[in-house]
A and B are shown apart, each in its own frame.
Chain A
Amino acid sequence: MSARLRKLFLYFLVFLIVIWTIAPFVWLIISSFSYKVDLLSVPLKWIPSRVTIENYQQLFMHEGNFNVNAALFSKSTMNSMIIAFTTTFLAMFLGVLAAYALARVKFPGSNVYMGTMMGAQMIPPIAIVIPLYVILRQLNIYDTHFGLILVYLSFVLPLVIWLMRSYFASIPAELEDAARIDGCTRLQALVKIVLPLSAPGLVSVFLFAFIASWNEYLYAFIYTNVNAKTLPVLIGEFSTKLGLEYLRIAAAGVIASLPPIILALLFSRYLVKGLTAGSVKA
């Protein structure tokens, strides 16, 4: 095979990979901007001749063509925001401290500690769903932001600790030693020296934590009802209950995908680093 033909073949394969990766999502986007009648035609036209934002408007429309789903949609989006951000920051605060201790200070049981964090990621969520449900009910935090944030910590914390520990371990300890000779306490050394140096690690951990909590479905599905219902649960309801327009589901799906997808595409470098370091499920 000549070099030129080989190059052409390579670009053909790259083209196939790109199509495979984006085609389903692009179809979702096209559907969300289409009129229903255009999509019902046989044979189907892949690029519609006209576009509409009607499907998006219906998601947010409160007055005029009022419907219950619209109010629910805004509320669920808000809930998802609050829960994902709070979980992420809480987990990063607790997790970064723990990871720093694990990377720097040898303390008894640190091996058991890491094993526990590993094990926590191996336990099937559905196996702990029932006891957690009972706990949430007894503490009176079923269907609250706080309850769901607490549950989300169970899978976000191990992830943060696992990733940050290996990141801290890669930063030379001599820098802190120098700072401590100059009179810094360990905590000051962490805040002033280690954290600024760990910015890339912190970014990647933030992304993983946020995407994991934003996308979570099962816990939110079982532990929320009205008040704390998240966007994924609402979309699940849209698509399992009859009578709802597919195109509106498509629009809701696009909106729910935007935060994680935009973050992932903007910061893909950081995510790739984290994925390879920690083998993380989101």
Chain B
Amino acid sequence: MANLNIKKSKENGLRTLLSGKGFFGLSLAVPAFLAVFILVFVPFINSLWLSFQRYDLARPQNNAFIGLGNYVNLLSDPRFLGSLKASAIFSLVSVAFELVLGIGIALVLNKKFIGQGFVRGLIILPWAMPAVVNAAMWKWIFNADYGALNALVTQLGIVQEYQIWLANPVSAMALLILANVWKETAFTAILVLAALQGIPDVFYESARVDGANAWHQFRHITLPMITSVVMVAGLLQVIWGFHHPFELAYIVTGGGPYSTTELIPLRIYAQTFRSLRFGYGASIAYLTSLLLLIPAVFYIRNAYKKVVEV
């Protein structure tokens, strides 16, 4: 029976392909598909091939196919492992803050108050700002001699003297995370706010009738209703935290002090464009992508289910 169905759908597919309607659809959709395929997937496969080679522009006489050689080397490369750790800390701590703050902001903005529409629009500001301006802005704020951070914490009496924040590994990472959280929280807040608006008031009314207090309402109605959105936002932010903070780390700390904030994209950049070890750089990109594949697949399946439902 199942076989028959598959056969039938195949025949249908072929028929629509050849009929005018299918051809029309294909001809509209193919140019964009080709563009994305050539610009994203061909290079992606190409760089997989590159990751199996020793490919140094500085020493081209040594270039050779070395199979998994680059990957084996990576596992005992302290700089790479350090970067992986830095990226993991950066990404996971950022996401934790983004989710807590994002949910908090969404809960507040879901209440009725004067100027609600204005404030809801305003929270999109950090999201819209160019990442490179965000980086330059925070670098200026963190400046040891004239920065607003030092002025603020000394005026509040938290510290006595101006500190060189970016020279200390712990505070450098913390501030890098702060700069990232400031920009990225809007995304989570907006998604969660939309989910909150989708919860029917009746749910809360009947809960109140049953005598549920605010915490119970949050725990048993709000939280279950926003869980899927929070999961999606969180997973996306983890992946982006590994893939996208190049300009932030490059400009604010430059990877320092002592490479403690040298996030993965920075390490790849250094290997590829400074040391000119193209093969090795490609293998870092691939290994990191593979490590992120597990949450990514989970996310794609989730999102895909939603698309099918539309």
Contacts and interface: CB of A to CB of B under 8 A. Distances in A.
Given A101-B26, A101-B28, A272-B190, A43 B151 contact: yes
A98 B29 contact: yes
A100 interface: yes
26 contacts: A10-B108, A11-B113, A22-B122, A27-B137, A28-B133, A95-B32, A101-B26, A108-B14, A117-B36, A118-B300, A126-B285, A127-B268, A130-B282, A153-B36, A215-B130, A217-B246, A218-B265, A222-B273, A232-B130, A236-B135, A236-B250, A239-B135, A256-B133, A279-B303, A282-B127, A282-B128
Given A17-B119, A108-B22, A128 B154 contact: no
B141 A24 contact: yes
Q: Secondary structure at chain B's binding surface: helix, strand, loop or mixed?
A: helix
Interface residues of B, number: 101
Give the 9 A-B residue pairs with the shortest CB-CB distance, closest first: A105-B25, A264-B128, A268-B121, A131-B43, A127-B285, A44-B151, A154-B39, A107-B25, A128-B43
B174 interface: no
Contact of B26 (A10, A28, A107, A249): A107
Contacts, number: 287
Interface in B20-61: 21-22, 24-26, 28-29, 31-33, 35-37, 39-44, 46-47, 50
Contacts of A249: 136, 140
User: Counting chain A CB atoms within 10 Å of each CB, which of B121, B281, B286 scores highest?
Assistant: B121
B242 interface: yes
A78 to B, nearest CB: 17
Contacts of B194: 272, 275-276
User: Counting chain A CB atoms within 10 Å of each CB, which of B113, B135, B137, B289 scores highest?
Assistant: B137
A51 interface: no
Given A128-B47, A217-B132, A281 B41 contact: no
Interface of A: 10-11, 13-14, 17-18, 20-22, 24-25, 27-28, 31, 39-40, 42-44, 94-95, 97-98, 100-102, 104-108, 110, 113-120, 122-132, 135, 150-151, 153-154, 157-158, 161, 166, 169, 186, 211, 214-215, 217-218, 221-222, 231-233, 235-236, 238-240, 246, 249-250, 253, 256-257, 260-261, 263-265, 268-269, 271-272, 275-276, 279, 281-282
